Structure 1
Amino acid sequence: MKIFVVFVLLGTFLYEDVYSRKIVGLRHKPNNNKIVGGYNATIEQFPYQVLLIVSKGGEMYGCGGSIISNTVILTAAHCIAGASKVYVKLGATSPNVEGDTIASSKLTPHPNYSKRTQDYDIGIITLERPIKLDGVKTKIVRLADKDTQINPGQSVTVSGWGATSENGKGSDSLLAVDVPVVSNDECRRAYRSLTTRMFCAGVPQGGKDACQGDSGGPAVIKPDGIQVGVVSYGIGCARKGYPGVYTNVASVRDWIKQVSGV
């Protein structure tokens, strides 16, 4: 019991230490990311959403992730590449005051992940112990299959605790935003290194986007809540002409299954 209490307190401390300052994750450095222009959400609406507190090289930062089995979290490779430990906060709208904390036992970024281009920006976190899935605040997300098509104009919903403004502080409470998918041709005007393992989403005038700290979090299609993307990178947050870039889950679906069994 004492060990459990200490671990819960550790999780709360880590959250407050990381998210009360401007160390709110990557979307990725130096092109940063949080939910901008979104709306208040609850964990019951997004029970697969988790917050990651990542320890790397003596520093700590926040990212997002999603529950894909009772022992596996899906996130972005750039969130965990080179990291020594990840603490997963789950089952909470406000992670600083509620929820469970589980540490990682293994971190597996995609072997082809490129820090320069952000290609294959997908990673797997194996947990030290199983999640108690209650179907209300903790639930497995349904992943897109490898044949899933994402079409321009289609709306995706992104959730997280990232910054609400560029270079701002992380949010204490879960937020979400709905953004339309942008065609690859249009997106390449902003990002020439776009690959077939990526897609873009955002509004032309800016104002709605993921931001620092949302990296690794899920992008889903409603109403079924199928996860089609993982928050990857972008120039700033919610800037005009610079949509957010997401890893296309369908394009890396075989690898996810190979590593996680899901």
Structure 2
Amino acid sequence: MEKSYCVIVFLLFCLFIEDVVSRKRLYLDRNNVENSDGKIVGGYNTTIQDVPYQVYLMLQMGTDYYQCGGSIISERYVLTAAHCLTGITRIYVRAGSTLAMSGGTQYNTTRFRQHPFYNPMNFDYDVGLVNIPGGIALDGINTKAVPLPKAGAKIANGTNILVTGWGDTTENGQVSPNLMGVQVPTVSNDECRKSYSTLTSRQFCAGVPEGGKDSCQGDSGGPAVSTDTGIQLGTVSFGTGCARPGIPGVYANLAKVRRWIKRNSGV
């Protein structure tokens, strides 16, 4: 089963929701997409000062709420996964906090958009933008925009990326109240197609052969940033299970959708 890393909250909404479990979009075949449970696996506790571009998203769909991650790309825009935005009516964004449910500053907005070519069957073009009309206060310490790659830039095999979020720490586990990070190397798309035959050029993969390190449910939409350059190369998209041996995670390749991001955010 393949995961996509959003988290549903089975309680009435309040500003500090504490009881969350993950929503996992599973791509089984073209006629069977399900939801089930997924956070950073094999990682470590980190702080918002180490990754000040990271934000926590609580997404409202009717009376249900979902968890995703996102990244600040400018004062007015947050980047996330397109699949996080499907069916959503309002988004609550917490910026500047190491903790998912407290601290920092919370913003809310109804302005967001998915990439128009987003395909829920294979998660192609899995990127979306969230607009914060009043702007996020960027202090350079707890809140800071992350740089994005140039359009068409290539990702070398073995590029080390830092993935952060508040998702599950084990497959079908529990979400984390504290921000976590994990570092994994990218693998070639040819190699990754052994696990995901539908992989496209708008996607890339990262993981270690022995497993044990990965993003997981609840991390969807969060940033995958080069540890060498500090440039965000991808957003957490989906995968089969979490941290399984020989099966990497899949990320949206931002260099391949860079022009769309520029046209719709000015960044």
TM-score (norm 2): 0.89
* Alignment partner, residue 188 of structure 1: 193
* Alignment partner, residue 56 of structure 1: 61
1:70 & 1:27 partners in 2: Cα distance? 30
Cα distance, 1:27–1:180 mapped onto 2, change above 3 Å: farther
Partner of residue 12 from structure 1, selected from 16, 40, 47: 16
Higher share in helix: 1
Please say if residues 224 and 233 of structure 2, whose CA atoms lie closer than 8 Å, have aligned partners that are also in contact.
yes
Please say if residues 89 and 110 of structure 2, whose CA atoms lie closer than 8 Å, have aligned partners that are also in contact.
no
Aligned-pair CA distance for 1:26: 3.7
* Alignment partner, residue 81 of structure 2: 76
Q: How does 1:66-215 map to 2 (within 5 A)?
A: 66-215=71-220
1:223 & 1:189 partners in 2: Cα distance? 28
Cα distance, 1:27–1:164 mapped onto 2, change above 3 Å: farther
- 3-state SS of 1:142 partner: coil
Partner amino acid, structure 1, of 2:199: L
Please say if residues 27 and 234 of structure 1, whose CA atoms lie closer than 8 Å, have aligned partners that are also in contact.
no
Cα distance, 1:98–1:220 mapped onto 2, change above 3 Å: same
Query: C-alpha deviations, 1:174-230, integer Å up to 9, x for none?
Result: 100000101111100100000000000001111000001000000000243100000
1:109 & 1:97 partners in 2: Cα distance? 27
1:97 & 1:74 partners in 2: Cα distance? 21
Aligned-pair CA distance for 1:171: 0.4
Cα distance, 1:126–1:79 mapped onto 2, change above 3 Å: same
- 3-state SS of 2:195 partner: coil
Cα distance, 1:80–1:68 mapped onto 2, change above 3 Å: same
Aligned-pair CA distance for 1:128: 3.6
* Alignment partner, residue 248 of structure 1: 253
Aligned-pair identity in percent equals 50
| Structure 2 unaligned residues grouped into runs of 5+ | 1-12, 27-33
1:118 & 1:58 partners in 2: Cα distance? 25
Partner amino acid, structure 1, of 2:203: M
1:58 & 1:141 partners in 2: Cα distance? 32
Please say if residues 41 and 168 of structure 2, whose CA atoms lie closer than 8 Å, have aligned partners that are also in contact.
yes
Please say if residues 215 and 233 of structure 1, whose CA atoms lie closer than 8 Å, have aligned partners that are also in contact.
yes
* Alignment partner, residue 21 of structure 1: 20
| Structure 1 unaligned residues grouped into runs of 5+ | 1-8
Partner amino acid, structure 2, of 1:21: V
TM-score (norm 1): 0.90
